[in-house]
Amino acid sequence: MLDFTYHRPASVADAAKIVGEIEDAKLMAGGMTLIPTMKQRLASPSDIVDLGRIPELKGIRRDGADLVIGAMTRHADVASSALVREAIPALASLAGQIGDPAVRHRGTIGGSISNADPAADYPAGVVGLDAVVETNQRQIAADDFFTGLFDTALEPGEIVTGVRFRAPDAANYQKLRHPASGYAVVGVMVARFGSNIRVAITGAGPSVFRAMEMEAALSAKFAVESLAGVSIDAADLLSDMHASADYRAHVVGVLAKRAVAAIS
């Protein structure tokens, strides 16, 4: 790891000021991706701005009907939160399946979605549950937030402050774990908001995406059999040593059915 200047601002405003002024500064949330990358000398930012001591970024609160999870909330805290488990148990379940215990006690929701790893679990939760990403500048609908492989709608210096979820009538997250990393080879979040159904898929493609045909079929009738004959095009999916695109497409179908079955 190369030397860098370490900053630990006490407020979002201070953090934004530092990243605004120093071109090569990098925000650090849990550091679960950034630190290994720096240790391998694949990233060498001049300055690290640690968001870990900013009180306004932490915690889970109810805001009317919504649930707002602060950007620096650890996965383990989401998984064990009584508020989350009551309002959106599928989200608590998703957080509890991320990585391993060490990652769940360091990694954060803001860090995960800002990094936008194609195999991360949270993007499926955020998109599937139609959440709103709150930043120090604006609110971004989940559908607009993830723009590609490790790419988001965030502008340089823009800091995620939290994620606003509305509770679905029911939701379920299904995942095929990567045998080494614990990331999602495929992760599927199915959420039902009245007659509106959302199906978000992570791990399978270069970025989280919604399975529109599945959503349409399930909106017509929310039942496992509605998914019969609905398939995902493997041409758009990833292939690697652990799973071919064909297999991923198949797994999406199986996991979507299991998620629907779990909440039918």
Partner 1 sequence: MGQFGIGQPVRRKEDIRLLTGKGRYTDDVHVDGQVWAAFVRSPHAHADIRGIDIAAALESPGVTHVFTGADLEAGGVQPLLYDLPFKDRNGKPMFKPARRILPTDRARFGGEPLALVLAETAEQAKAGAELVEIDFEPLPCVTSTARAGDPDAPVLYPEHGSNVAVHWENRAPDEIDALIAGAAHKVSVDLVNNRLVVAPMEPRCAVADYDAASDVITLYTPTQGIMTMQTAFAALLNIPKNKLRIVAQDVGGGFGIRSKRYPESIAVAWAAKKIGRPVKWRGDRSETFVSDYHGRDQVNHAVMGLDRDGRVLALRLETIVNVGGYCGDNGPRLPIDGGGRIIPCGYDIEKFYFSVKPVYTNTVPTDTYRGAGRPEANFIMERLMDAAADATGLSRIEVRRRNLIPTSKLPYRTQMDFVYDSGDFIGTMDMTVKEADWDGFAARRAESEKRGKLRGIGIASFVEQAGGRPTEEMRVKLEADGSATVYAGTFSHGQGHETVYAQMVEDFLGIPFDQVKLVQGDSDTTPVGGIGTFGSRSSMMGGVAIRRSCNQIIIKGKRIAAHLLQAEESQVRFEEGLFKVNVSSVSIQEVARAAADPSKLPEGMKAGLDENYLFEREPDAMNFPNGCHICEVEVDPDLGIVQIVKYTAVDDCGVVLNPLLVHGQVYGGVAQGIGQALTEDAVYDETSGQLLAGSFMDYGMPRAHHFPHMVAHFNESQPCKTNDLGVKGAGEAGACGAPPAFVSAVVDALSPYGVKHIDMPLTPERVWRAIADAKSKRAA
In the complex, the residues that contact partner 1 under the rule CB under 8 A are 1-3, 40-41, 176, 179-181, 240-244, 247, 250-251, 254
C-beta separation of 59 from 70 below 8 A: yes
72/98 with CB nearer partner 1: 98
Distance CA 128, CA 237 (A): 18
231/244 with CB nearer partner 1: 244
In angstroms, give the least distance from the CB of 101 to partner 1: 12
In angstroms, give the least distance from the CB of 106 to partner 1: 16
- Of 165, 153, 156, give the one whose Cα is nearest residue 127: 165
In angstroms, give the least distance from the CB of 50 to partner 1: 20
In angstroms, give the least distance from the CB of 2 to partner 1: 7
229's CB contacts (< 8 A; 6+ apart) are none
Distance CA 215, CA 20 (A): 41
154/251 with CB nearer partner 1: 251
In angstroms, give the least distance from the CB of 35 to partner 1: 13
41/221 with CB nearer partner 1: 41
3/63 with CB nearer partner 1: 3
Q: How many C-alpha atoms does 35 have within 13 Å on its Cβ side?
A: 11
Q: What are phi and psi of 159, to 5 degrees?
A: -120, 125
